[in-house]
Structure 1
Amino acid sequence: MAEKKGKRAELKTKETDASVTDFINSVPDEQKRKDSFAIIEMMKKATGDEPKMWGSAIIGFGNTTYKSPATGREVDWMKIGFSPRKANLSLYIGIGSDEHTESLKKLGKHKTGKGCLYINKLDDIDIKVLEKMIKISAKKKV
C-alpha cells in the first residue's frame, strides 16, 4: 500500500498584520495586560523574533511548518505563542513532551492541555522556570 504524502492544509488561524500592542491594550483585565507584555519580552528574548498576531487573539513568535502526526498534513504555524484569554493565559509552548516534565513540577499553579500551558497570572508561578521552558520550546524542532 502506498504511503500517503501530507498535504499542506489551510488554517483559519494565520499570521496577520494586526498590531500586537493594540490587541494587548484592548484586553480588559489590567493584570493580564501587564503579564502579556512580560510574556512578550520572554518570548522575544528566547526566539529573537518580533511578536506577530495569529488570527484575532494569538500572539506568535517565529515561523515553522507543523506536520500533524495523525494526518501527515502540514501547516504554517508559529514556533511558540500565547493568548490572554478571559479565563487564563494560554501559552503554546509544546507542553506534553518529556523535556518539560521536571519544570512543570517546579512551575507553580498551572494547568496543562493538548500542547498548552494555562496560568492565571505570572504571580502564581516561578518566572525563572517559565523562562527556561520558553527557551527550550523556542529551540525545539516541531
Structure 2
Amino acid sequence: MSKLIYILNGPNLNLLGKRQPEIYGRDTLDDIEKNCRAVAEAGGAEVALFQSNHEGVIIDTIHEAREKACAIVINPGAYSHTSVAILDALNAYEGPVLEVHISNIHKREAFRHHSYVSGRADGVICGCGIEGYEFAVRHILSLLG
C-alpha cells in the first residue's frame, strides 16, 4: 500500500474560515490541505482530503480507506459525540487513526467532552488550531517509518 493518508472532515467543517472564527479561526479546508500536503510530501507520502456533512458518506470513505490509505486523520466534528457508526467503521480499519479537533473540546460545552472516536484513535490532538492536522500527519509519518 502506498503512503496515502486520508484526512476526513465531518459536518460543518466546509464552513471553516466563515463559521465562528472566534472558535475555529479564519483558515479554510484549502489551507489545511495545502499545509498537510507539504508535510506529507516532505515525508514521502501523499494526502487525500475529504469533507462531508453526511454520516454515511464519512463511513463509506473510511471503508474505502481500508483498501487505499495507510492511515486516517479524522476530525469528525459533531459526530465525535454522537456516532457509534463512525466508531464501528474505524474499528474495522487496520491502520493508524489520529483524531483532530481544531478547538479544545474539553473547554467547551459538557456534551463535547466525550468522543466516541477517541475509543479507536491512536492519538487525539485538540485545541491546536489547524496545526493539529499537521501534527497528526507528522506523527503518522513517524509511525510508518
Relative to its length, the structure with more strand (as a share) is 1
TM-score (normalised: structure 1)? 0.35
Relative to its length, the structure with more helix (as a share) is 2
Point out the structure with max Rg over C-alpha: 1
TM-score (normalised: structure 2)? 0.35
